[in-house]
Amino acid sequence: MSLLSTHKLKKIFNGVSAVNGVSLSFEPGKITSVIGPNGCGKTTMINLITGMMPFDDGNITIGEHTKIDNMPAYDVATYGITRTFQQPRLFEQMTVLDNILVVLTERNVFKSLFERHDKYHIDIAEKILRRVDIFEKKDNLAVNLSYGQRKLLEIARVIAMGERTDGESHILFFDEPFAGLFPEMVKLVSSILKELRDEGKAVVLVEHNMDLIRELSDHVYVLDAGEHLAEGTAKDVFSNRGVIEAYLGD
23-57 burial, b for 16+ CB within 10 Å, e for fewer? ebbbbbebbbbbbbbeebbbbbbbbbbbbeeebee
State how far the alpha carbon of 110 is from the alpha carbons of 65, 93, 107, 191, 209, in Å: 35, 12, 9, 34, 38
Alpha carbon distance 99, 156 (integer Å): 9
Give per-residue pLDDT as tens, 10-38.
999 988 899 999 999 999 999 999 999 88
Q: What are phi and psi of 219, to 5 degrees?
A: -150, 145
- 46 close to 173: Cβ distance less than 8 angstroms: yes
Beta carbons within 8 Å of 250's beta carbon, 6+ residues apart: 244
Residue 129 pLDDT class (50, 70, 90 cuts): very high
Instruction: Give the pLDDT score at 173.
Output: 95
Q: What is the mean pLDDT of residues 140-157?
A: 95
Residue 2 pLDDT class (50, 70, 90 cuts): confident
Residue 193 has pLDDT above 80, yes or no: yes
232-247 burial, b for 16+ CB within 10 Å, e for fewer? bebeebbebeebeebe
CA max distance for the chain:
60
Instruction: Give the pLDDT score at 23.
Output: 96
Alpha carbon distance 171, 147 (integer Å): 25
Break the chain into its structural domains and give their ranges: 1-80+170-250, 89-164
Residue 128 pLDDT class (50, 70, 90 cuts): very high
Average pLDDT score over the chain = 89
CATH number corresponding to 1-80+170-250: 3.40.50.300
Q: What are phi and psi of 62, to 5 degrees?
A: -95, 125
Residue 117 pLDDT class (50, 70, 90 cuts): low
Cα 46 to chain centroid, rounded: 8
Alpha carbon distance 111, 115 (integer Å): 6
Give per-residue pLDDT as tens, 88-97.
889 999 999 9
Residue 167 pLDDT class (50, 70, 90 cuts): very low
- 206 close to 176: Cβ distance less than 8 angstroms: yes
Beta carbons within 8 Å of 149's beta carbon, 6+ residues apart: 134, 137
Residue 115 pLDDT class (50, 70, 90 cuts): low
Beta carbons within 8 Å of 217's beta carbon, 6+ residues apart: 31, 32, 33, 205, 233, 234
pTM (2 d.p.): 0.89
Give per-residue pLDDT as tens, 196-250.
999 999 999 999 999 999 999 999 999 999 999 999 999 999 999 988 888 755 5
Instruction: Give the pLDDT score at 20.
Output: 95
